Amino acid sequence: MTDYLIANTTRYPHETIDGETLLIDSETGHLLLISGIGPSIWDRLVAGVAAEPLIAEVSVLFGAEAGTACRAFLDALADAQVVVRTESVSSPASALAWPAAYAPPVLERFDDIANIIAMDPIHDVDQTAGWPRQRRDAAG
């Protein structure tokens, strides 16, 4: 069975601007930045793509080391739940616009907004005690 990966765009809204892809974790506020050939890989992931053929294509285009970097990049995205595994995709992936020059795909994570949320969290209100009373199970 083919192992497909697809971007979790419900949790991670994304924008690609001037060759760099920005994502935000809508649950935690963590900001992610994808650079290098990563945005081209990301294009495929938004539609859904089979991992092994993608890695093979990158290896053919940019060399074996690039293929290894692509695999590590996909693993990092999966570990962060930015992409999820699926058994099929609903539409074929569009052709990738690969950059002329290779730069390794990089995933960076920034904690600024997440820290702001953690610093001054919005508490859920205890509906029975009225407000502003923090819910007991959310306190502390």
The footprint of another protein (CB under 8 A) covers 13, 15, 17-18, 20, 22, 24-26, 28-29, 31, 33, 35, 110, 112-113, 116-117, 119-125, 127, 131-134
Cα end-to-end distance, the chain, whole Å = 46
CB of 110 to another protein, least distance (A): 6
- Rounded CA gap, 110 and 105, in Å? 17
Which residue from 87, 84, 86, 53 is spatially nearest to 71, judged by alpha carbons? 53
Q: Please identify, using beta-carbon distances, which residue of 87 and 120 lies nearer to another protein.
A: 120
Q: Please identify, using beta-carbon distances, which residue of 38 and 67 lies nearer to another protein.
A: 38
Q: Please identify, using beta-carbon distances, which residue of 1 and 122 lies nearer to another protein.
A: 122
Q: Please identify, using beta-carbon distances, which residue of 2 and 28 lies nearer to another protein.
A: 28
CB of 48 to another protein, least distance (A): 22
Dihedral of alpha carbons 32, 38, 41, 43, sign: positive
Q: What is the dihedral of CA 99, 104, 105, 110, to 10 degrees?
A: -120
CB of 2 to another protein, least distance (A): 31
